Amino acid sequence: MYLYYIDEISYDTIIKDNSQIILGIYEENCIVSSLFKAMMQQLRKKFERHIIIGLMEKKAYEKVGSNLDLKVYPKLIVIENGKILKEVEGFKNYESAYQEIIA
């Protein structure tokens, strides 16, 4: 199972071609974001293969013209059929993040 690294070029294709996505937004050169990336690897193991788990750097996310208020990093965004269903802000261990996503 893969953890996808998404950039501004692949973002639209990923959103359009996949019905369920969990997107982790992180900030480069941030210690907490480094821990967040490791947590995303663990989170990947908790979900079925058809759910895309991806990481996107905040500057790339801002370039896609998102209108989300991204004041808190890292952030998990649950997207289904192109619509944002849920946002989970800040760093959490993967079990806590998993519980928030499925709640």
Domain ranges for the chain: 4-102
Which residues sit opposite 47 in a β-bridge? Answer: none
Strands 4-5 and 52-57: parallel
What is the overall mean pLDDT for the chain?
86
Peptide bond before residue 74 is cis, with ω within 30 degrees of 0: yes
Side by side, which strands form the sheet with 20-26?
Answer: 4-5, 52-57, 20-26, 75-80, 83-89
Does the pLDDT of residue 3 top 90, yes or no? Answer: no
- pLDDT for the residue 6: 93
DSSP single-letter state for residue 78 = E
Architecture of domain 4-102: 3-Layer(aba) Sandwich (3.40)
Rounded to whole angstroms, the Cα distance separating 91 from 13 reads 27
- pLDDT for the residue 67: 60
Which residues sit opposite 25 in a β-bridge? Answer: 56, 75
- Helix or strand or coil: residue 26? strand
Rounded to whole angstroms, the Cα distance separating 16 from 12 reads 6
| 67-99 per-position pLDDT tens digit | 665 677 898 999 999 888 998 888 888 888 889
The model carries a pTM of 0.87
Element (H, E) at 10: none
